[in-house]
Amino acid sequence: MQKVPETLLVTYKGHGYSVSKKLMGKRVKLVPVANQLYIYFNTKLQCVHKISSSKFNYKKDHYCEALRSTVKGGSDREIEKRAEQNLALLDKIGG
C-alpha cells in the first residue's frame, strides 16, 4: 500500500504510474500481473498501466484532470494541448 502524492504518481520498481486526482492522499494497492500494473483503492480497480521502463507513466486523462485544477479559465482544448506538450517532454526526460 502506498499513499498517492500530489504528483499523482505511485511508484512501482522506481517508476511512477498515475492515478486519478480523486485518490490524492489516499492509500492504494499496486498489483503487478504479467506486464500490467493494476491499481486498487478499497478493493475497487481504479486503473491499469502497462509496466514500463519509462520513469513517468501518466495517463493523459489523469494529467488533464490535474491541469484543470491548476490552470484556471483554460478551455478543454487548451488543457489537452498543454497536457500533450508536457507529456511529450516527460517522455524525453524519463524515457
Q: HSE of 39 in the Cβ direction (CA atoms, 13 Å)?
A: 24
How many independent structural domains does the chain possess?
A: 1
Q: Is the pTM of this model over 0.85?
A: yes
pLDDT, tens only, 31-60: 999 999 999 999 999 999 999 999 999 999
- The residue range of the domain holding 57 is 2-94
Rounded to an integer, the average pLDDT of 68-88 is 88
How many CB atoms neighbour CB 65 within 10 A?
17
pLDDT for the residue numbered 95: 55
Nearest of 41, 87, 45, 90 to residue 62 by alpha carbon: 87
